[in-house]
Amino acid sequence: MQPEPSLTPQERAVRDVLACFDASARIRVARDSLLTASRVGPREEEHAFADLQQAIMRLHTASHPR
């Protein structure tokens, strides 16, 4: 495995947004699952969405520094 090159703040923020989006999408799928053990509640979904919103704000901040 090759070492990862150092990432810019924007690249790190993009990766964070993508990871949060993936987690949010997986939770939405689990919410609608037919398997009771796989289901998640509204609290988990709200938490994942809040994480995604925060990641988007970090990306915005990293992309538009003052």
Chain segment 8-66, per-residue pLDDT in tens = 999 999 999 999 999 999 998 888 887 777 788 889 999 999 999 999 999 999 998 77
Q: What is the DSSP letter of 34?
A: S
pLDDT at 66: 73
For residues 52 and 44, what is the distance between their CA atoms, to the nearest angstrom?
A: 12
Alpha-carbon radius of gyration of the chain: 15
Q: Is pLDDT at 3 greater than 70 in this prediction? A: no
Entry pTM = 0.80
For residues 63 and 41, what is the distance between their CA atoms, to the nearest angstrom?
A: 34
